[in-house]
A and B are shown apart, each in its own frame.
Chain A
Amino acid sequence: MNAIQELSRRRVLRGVLGGAAVTVGLPFLDCFLNTNGTALASGQALPTCFGSWFWGLGLNPGRWEPKQVGKIVDLGEELKALEPYKDKINVYSGMKVYLDGRPLITHYSGDWSLLTGTTPREERVEIPSIDVLIGDVIGTRTRFRSLEVAATGNATHSYSRRAGAALNPAETSPVGLYTRVFGPEFKDPNAADFTPDPAVMARQSVLSAITEQRADIQKHLGAADKARLDEYFSSLRQIEQQLDIELQKPAPLEACTTPAKAEEMPPGTEIETVQNNHKLFAAILAHALACNQTRVVNITFSDATSSLRKQGSSMTEHVQSHEEAIDPQLGYQPNVTYFMERVMEGFAATLASLEAIKEGDGTLLDRMLIMASSDTGYAKVHSLENIPLLTAGKAGGKMKTGIHVSAKGDPGTRVGLTVQQAMGVPINSWGTDSMQTAKTITEVMA
């Protein structure tokens, strides 16, 4: 290979901050669906899927809320990146988190209250998050119970947790996620032939040895430790399930294609890196959903204490949210708002990935419901008022979209309640204390 060219390219790449943006191609395969492409050949409807999308530090109050209540005509300035999708999203303004006398744990109380229904008393949450509640209803029969990713490259930037003390750790590397989902253990639903692998059966034999020993192990455990062991076995069940699935021929899915392997940037919190890796994650997750590898995806664009930063700047978004002066002409903090705009572009990129998967007359987004949330309504003062909440997708027809709901003073759990009901979780109310609500947002229910 031409040493000069290599050097020139290397020099150019080094010169460009952080490298080039990457797009993921979508090769098509033949279809095996019903004639409309809207269902599996067996006649079952394509499953509804759920996604959570989290970003830190909210948005600027007054700049994101759509002008009209009801049908969205003019999105707020800060949501302008979502303009192409305004008919497929809902925006919820005015809702808040109640502390009920608990301390305000900055960048913690707000996010976890909206995601679990209960405002935490201390910096510790032990109840499941909404994606787990939904996943337990829709996602128990897929290869992965859920897939979590963090565009910031930090495994602890996850807003998904089962009961118990620990988070579901997030994937930090798009290549790692790709290998995990589409690597050697991926069974292509559209592959012409399928033979059950004896090695998989062999693995089942040895794993059953562990489950057979459960009673032995439990014998000497106290109640708390027994609960942790139960969680272990519940997790082990996922592997057993994965092996079961590997031994069955999967139903063909027209829209299932493997994503192209793409170059990731080394994980980090610089905004270009986050944007780049987030795009790669979104593409892989979209394919994972289309191929029915999972029904629940959880994306963290930035953590609640957003460590997003620009190269060459001495301040992270978080520090700037407190220190940057409000520009008297603009009426907002310019650098902080720069990040907020990138965040919304990120959300738009997620929607684009889902829209890119065509299924019959619609897209993957149509049979999804994504809930996007943050930790605060105004980061500068850690406000819990008017925390931005959005949903995207029609939940397979259960949700109406293109609507702005304004519910000033209502607990943000109304959105979580509505989302769960749309996804089929059999509940009438959700949340505790002042966050408890039974008021479904009927305007958006189909």
Chain B
Amino acid sequence: MKMSIEKPARGKIILGAVLAACTAPLALMALPHAKADDSAQVAGPVAMRRLTQDEYKQIIEDVFGPTVTLGGRFEPDMRDAGLMAVGASQVSVTASGIEQYDTMARKIASQVVDEQHRASMIPCKPADPKAADDACAKQFLAKAGKLLYRRPLSDHELQTEVAGANAAATKVKDFYAGLGLALASLLEAPQFLFRQEVAEPDPDHSGQYRLDAYSKASRLSFFLWDSAPDAQLLQAAESGELNTGRGMAKQVDRMMASPRLEAGVRAFFSDMLGFDAFENLAKDRTLYPKFNPRVASDAEEQTLKTIVQVVLTDNGDYRDLFTTRKTFLTQALASIYKVPIAPPDGAWNAWVPYEYPADAEQAGILTEASFVGLHSHPGRSSPTIRGKALRTTILCEKVPDPPGNVNFTVVQDTNNPQYKTARERVTAHRTEPTCAGCHKLIDPIGLGMENFDTIGGFRTTENGAPIDASGELDGVKFADAIGLGRAVHDNAAVPACLVNRIYEYAVGHKPNKAEGEWLKSDLEKEFASNGYRVPALMRAVATSDAFYRVTPPTTGAIDAPTPKFADANSKQETAK
């Protein structure tokens, strides 16, 4: 029988806590801004997500330290519904992909067991280094496995791994080599590469399901820290603490207070803003000699630093990202933006905080190279690409594909004058009825950024003709990129888009109808009443019921998790 509890108003929360066994409101008391969302429908499916490149790298660094190098490359992550975090729940591993994972796994493992590292990485010594050692292999693989799999290994898992290590050690007459190969197998196993989520019946809401404690820990940790749960969080899962409101709140508080929160913020915004495209970004060397791969990576870092400063360090209004005059520059970037910065001597490539003067022509992340440069052609700017990028990444709006039967004969006229500016070049987008329908949604936005060339340099003319950077966004007119930034700041779709994206990112799927409604009626409103502050939003997601509630799994996963998991909750699960 399902309990359907109406979403309680704030005043009723405390009463609800007294009346119901539901532990969630206790958490809400500890965090005055979080709201209850006790509707059973606000839940999504479990998502088995492949680790992203960054998550993989971060876990290796967390578990084995920063000196261990990776030896291969990753197959590309897939983007769906605007996020790699959602695409991750749809991809598997291709043959070339696993080849690379295998290469990386062996490279990492061989470093962990080598003579320099083994003393600090392996907590025991074999009786005979030239032979298998059951006990030491078991000790090490259990410890490493728990951190890598984000949960303790089952008896069967541990047993087969140890057997593998022993067989390998015997074959090559080397304990450490055998152990290294077993460790490598952990690193290419699905349990490592995929973030598997396990559902269990929710003892506090009969008929409903929630993530098991380890799955909660994973979702929380990947969301806030872009990495696997640390030992403390795993312990909280193991002891059952994470299944209590107070316990969960304590961990969320700990994680949000940590400097590691920055990694989570960076990973989210990198995904949302499509920064994976930096990998293949190229500009014409002759036309734009200031651009090189170093500049590309500086441009990416500039915007991430700006974002971290505004939304995290200053705990400011998210919308200020589009108007802020403060940023960080390196020499290479400063030369593109044509502003002076003075890094300290001997640290010529250091980052220097910079503030544009009040009447500068650029402000906000949309005028930074990461936006105007990423969304342009190699040899020139593109109002259409930029306008579309703004619509899809910042406003979360879908732009339809161009029609198949575009009639280009109109631009085939060989007597066309040489179009000097982009505005002239996209004339046909405005004047042709089949084009205008969609292009009027995107071109006027992009044309507002035309003062910025394809690498982010400011210009007032193009091919000798003056640039007109006036445009319009959803009815709001502006004269230049500063005005565009303002218009974006004031656009209601912007905060709503962020809320949706952050939730999707956290849960790994497109919100269903109920989730969508909850986002609109609760989370978006809360975001606004909290001054559009991102940490508060992240906390709201991390402490919401929706984040841990899952829809009933389709097959097979309904049973209680393998009893071998030492789990304090197992007592609660027997009743259904």
Contacts and interface: CB of A to CB of B under 8 A. Distances in A.
**A and B interact:** yes
Interface of A: 99, 103-106, 109, 123, 144-146, 148, 153-156, 162, 164-169, 171, 176, 180, 198-199, 201-203, 205-210, 212-213, 216-223, 225-226, 228-229, 231-232, 234-236, 238-239, 242, 268-270, 307, 309, 311-316, 319, 322-323, 325-328, 380-382, 384
B95 interface: yes
Nearest to A156: B76
Given A106-B404, A169-B97, A239-B98, A164 B91 contact: yes
Given A199-B177, A202-B171, A210-B185, A221 B164 contact: no
Contact of B379 (A171, A314, A325): A314
Contacts of B161: 206, 209
Contacts of B404: 99, 103-104, 106, 109, 382, 384
Interface string B86-109: 010011111111110010001000
Contacts of A106: 401-402, 404
A231 B98 contact: no
A183 B73 CA distance: 16
Contacts of B199: 220
B554 A222 contact: yes
A169 B75 contact: yes
Nearest to A220: B557
Contacts of A314: 284, 287, 377, 379-380
B164 A208 contact: yes
Contacts of A201: 171
Interface of B: 45-46, 48, 73, 75-76, 78, 80, 87, 90-99, 102, 106, 154, 156-157, 160-161, 163-165, 167-169, 171-172, 177-178, 181-182, 184-185, 188-191, 193-194, 196, 198-199, 280, 282, 284-287, 377-380, 401-408, 411-414, 416, 425, 553-557, 559, 561-562
Contact of B91 (A166, A208, A238): A166
Contacts of B190: 210, 217, 229, 232
B518 to A, nearest CB: 23
A165 B90 contact: yes
Contacts of B554: 222-223
B402 A312 contact: no
A123 B392 CA distance: 16
A153 B555 contact: no
Contacts of A234: 95
Contacts of A212: 160
B416 A210 contact: no
Contacts of A171: 96
A434 B76 CA distance: 33
24 contacts: A155-B75, A165-B91, A168-B95, A202-B168, A202-B178, A206-B182, A207-B185, A209-B164, A209-B182, A209-B185, A213-B191, A220-B557, A220-B561, A228-B194, A231-B92, A238-B95, A239-B102, A242-B99, A268-B282, A319-B377, A323-B411, A325-B413, A382-B404, A384-B404
A239 to B, nearest CB: 5
Contacts of B280: 153-154
A213 B377 contact: no
A144 B196 CA distance: 29
Given A162-B94, A311-B286, A325-B413, A221 B196 contact: yes
Contacts of A153: 280
For the complex of A and B, list the 6 residue pairs with the smallest distance between their C-beta atoms, beginning with the closest. Answer: A104-B404, A314-B379, A209-B164, A202-B168, A231-B92, A205-B167
Nearest to B166: A205
B181 A206 contact: yes
Nearest to B168: A202
B28 to A, nearest CB: 30
B284 A312 contact: yes
Nearest to B212: A220
A429 B90 CA distance: 30
Given A221-B48, A235-B95, A326-B412, A198 B172 contact: yes
A331 to B, nearest CB: 11
A236 B98 contact: yes
Contact of B94 (A169, A222, A313, A322): A169
Given A221-B556, A228-B48, A206 B98 contact: no
A232 B93 contact: yes
A347 B193 CA distance: 38
Contacts of B178: 202
A311 B378 CA distance: 10
Given A205-B164, A235-B97, A380 B92 contact: no
